[in-house]
Amino acid sequence: MKNMEKEVYSYNNQYLTCNDRPILPIMGEFHFSRYPEGEWKTAIKNMQQGGVDIVATYVFWIHHEEAEGEWDFSGRRNLKAFLSCCQETGMKVWLRIGPWAHGECRNGGFPDWLVEKEKRGKLSLRTDDPQYLKYVDLFFTKIAEQADGYMHKDDGPVIGIQIENEYGHAGGPSDREEGMAHMRTLRAMAEKKGLTAPYFSATGWGGAYVPESFLPVLGGYVDAPWANHTHELAASENFLFQPFHDDANIASDFAEGQSGFTFDTSKFPYLTAELGGGLQVTAHRRTYPYPEDIEAQTICMLGAGANLIGYYMYHGGVNPDGQYTTLQESKATGYANDLPVKSYDFQTCLRENGLPSESYYRLRKHHIFIKNTEELLAPAKVYLPDNIPEPMGAEDMETLRAAFRYNKTADCGFLFINNHQRKRKMTEKQITPEKPLQFTVTDVEGTQRQIIFDRIHVRTDAILVLPYNLPVVIRGEQLRLRKTNASYLGCFGGTYYFYADEKPEDIYFEWSDGKDHAKAVRILTIHDAEHFCYVQEGADEKGKVSLLPDLHFAEAGKVRITDGRQAVESIWNVYGQTEPNVYELTLEYEYHPADALSGDVWLELDFGGDCARLYQDGKLIDDWFSNGELWRVALKRYDCPTHLTLELDSFKMDVYYDLPPKRENRLAGARLLQLS
């Protein structure tokens, strides 16, 4: 399929291609209807700065047709405007059109009226029932109207479409052929409406139905906030290098322990769409995605052969207001978990308040590496060590965890090492000439040969990405970097950038000509690699290296706190809390954003208790399940209010926490902040 820029997207059984060139995209989930439309462009640019080149987004049916026949594509629900924003910023799009989505949305995205029709026996959801398909047809028609002109065939940004979600794993018929037929029906309906793209995908984990015309996409999360218990999980296998791994914990609230593939893995590239960029809290599980967890899981997937790195979520949001009900997943609607009414922060790379987390920076350096090496990396085959045993499961803290991706055509590769396991401590390791790390690979001539690494110090929690026999050009001469113990970032402006957590005198480089090429190399700290920027104004101009600044906050005013117990009647109470602590907050700004281009102001709340709710003029604007972090609320989207009401609920049930919360149900402090 072609567009005006001559981009032709395709795939083979190993990787995706653009104009016959191997590509390894970075995809991040961001829900347009869960974010203020005036902030979309900033959010997309922040994603791009983090290395994301495809935004994935759900079209939640209930967000657009809450009452039958009452369609709403205005404001933050305006899909056409969002696609236009993506086109303007150069961001590609992967539309997830359902009809069922999940996404921690009410009814998985189905409108109440549609669910009620099934309860009354009028139709059968998620089947080829003609009555159900009649409504799906209209839904797809509305999406197509919004997306008209923005599909790839029209020179638009939409290059991928996902049909359904977890179908056959989280709902759907038990009969495989019936399920496969329904997926094909939905695709045909979408294409008939003009919803076409180079790639059609389906989630492939847990036995979900993936017909032959779909690309299967996989995922993995560092924990399971949807698990139906309040104790710590066993060590996750997501921190091992496992080609084409199926995470049995995904959607285990629907089908615990179910796994297996319905597609032939030899026919498709290993693609991910739901690597947890974070974890969404639930009422009973406040799991925290430590940044080192998120980084390690990503590297394990990449090292094991993943050729699309897709995060769910990459940017958090806030649920829109419902006209008739709230729009979050809840037990009241028959789902397994209670979630915040408003917050869908996901504790991810870019938070609901627009601020980057530590995970954003940790992943960013790997995204820089991927985009700089994708033509070498995407075709590279995965090899596991052949002179050390495989780890004895995820609880094995002693055995080295490593994978080698070797490109036989270019005769080069990359060694991936992960020495981190969530909530465990792995031992330090030494790779030496006496105890080397060895891989047996097949070269371009079909001959097996050994590749040996022998001088690497692996610290506890270390994550290493080391090049092998890397093609380089130094002062016009083509050479090879045989080995190094420094992780590779990329080549920019003729300089080769690396980073390491070692003393400078302990870092070595072996070049094919045996000479010292120190002037062609720059070694960064891990921090500087995470903040690295290379800006090139024109194709013929030499670029400039700079570093993204660290986040520093300054006071933006004062918050006056008074008791407000009688101020507001709570609209939602999960645990029967009848008398929450109530505070009236008067906000006095020293700095006030003058317009949409000005910086934001954040209200930082330090509170104890189970959950908090924030009201503006009696309307709930945001809420927060305590998770051990400070709560920072972006205020510009609410026109920088001068008065807010805060409710705090005390603990009423057993809750699992990773970060210890304040137990006393009170507001300990409040500040107005701006970026300095």
DSSP sequence for 81-129: HHHHHHHHHT-EEEEE--SS--TTBGGGG--HHHHHHHHTTS--TTS--
The angle, 0 to 180 degrees and rounded to 10, between the axes of the packed helices 291-303 and 358-377 is: 10
Strands 487-492 and 495-499: what pairing?
Answer: antiparallel
Decide: 269 and 13 in contact? Cβ < 8 Å: yes
3-state secondary structure of 500: coil
3-state secondary structure (DSSP) of residue 133: helix
Beta strands at 92-96 and 54-58: parallel, antiparallel or unpaired? parallel
Burial of 158 (0-12, 13-18, 19+ CB in 10 A): buried
Which domains, from first to last, does the chain contain? 23-373 (3.20.20.80), 376-547 (no CATH), 553-675 (2.60.120)
pLDDT at 244: 79
- By DSSP bridging, strand 26-29 and strand 309-312 are parallel
Judged by DSSP in three states, 663 sits in coil
Residue type, 350: L
HEC string for 239-301: HCCCCCCCCCCCCHHHHCCCCCCCCCHHHCCCCEEEEECCCCCCCCEECCCCHHHHHHHHHHH
Query: Pairing state of beta strands 509-511 and 495-499?
Result: unpaired
C-alpha–C-alpha distance, residues 461 and 275, integer Å = 20
Record the tokens describing residue 36, joined without a space.
Answer: 């203020």
* Residue partners of 354: CB distance under 8 A and separation at least 6: 39, 42, 43, 46, 600, 634
- List of E strands, 443-538: 448-453, 456-458, 463-468, 470-474, 477-484, 487-492, 495-499, 509-511, 521-524, 532-535
State how far the alpha carbon of 334 is from the alpha carbons of 115, 330, 337, 407, 456, in Å.
11, 7, 9, 49, 52
Question: Considering all CA atoms of the chain, what is the largest pairwise distance in Å, rounded to the nearest integer?
Answer: 80
Report the alpha-carbon distance of residue 37 to residue 41 in Å, rounded.
Answer: 8
Residue type, 357: S
- Give, for 57, the enclosing helix (H) or strand (E): strand 54-58
Backbone angles phi, psi at 367, to 5 degrees: -65, -40
Residue length of the chain:
676
Closest residue by Cα to residue 337 from 220, 252, 422, 248: 252
Chunked in runs of 10, what are the mean pLDDT values of the chain (676 residues)? 68 98 99 99 98 99 99 99 99 99 98 99 99 99 99 98 97 96 99 99 96 96 97 97 74 52 94 98 98 99 98 99 98 96 99 99 99 99 92 95 99 99 98 98 98 98 99 98 99 98 96 97 98 86 92 96 66 52 97 68 97 98 98 98 98 93 93 95
Q: What is the pLDDT of residue 510?
A: 98
d(Cα 470, Cα 380) in Å, to the nearest integer?
13
Under 8 Å between Cβ of 376 and 63: no
**What type of residue sits at position 596?**
A
359 and 348 Cβ atoms separated by less than 8 Å: yes
CA distance 34 to 105: 11
CA 310 to chain centre: 6
Phi-psi region of 446 (alpha: psi -120 to 50; beta: other; left: phi over 0): left
**pTM exceeding the 0.85 threshold for the entire prediction:** yes
Task: Enter the tokens of residue 181.
Answer: 């037929």
CA 183 and chain centroid, separation: 25
pLDDT of residue 591: 75
Q: Report d(CA 574, CA 448) in Å as an integer.
A: 62
Strand partners, 584: 562, 645
Distance of CA 203 to CAs 163, 279, 403, 584, Å? 9, 19, 25, 46
Residue 567's pLDDT is 44
Distance CA 226, CA 233 (A): 12
**What is the C-alpha separation between 499 and 406, in angstroms, rounded?**
21
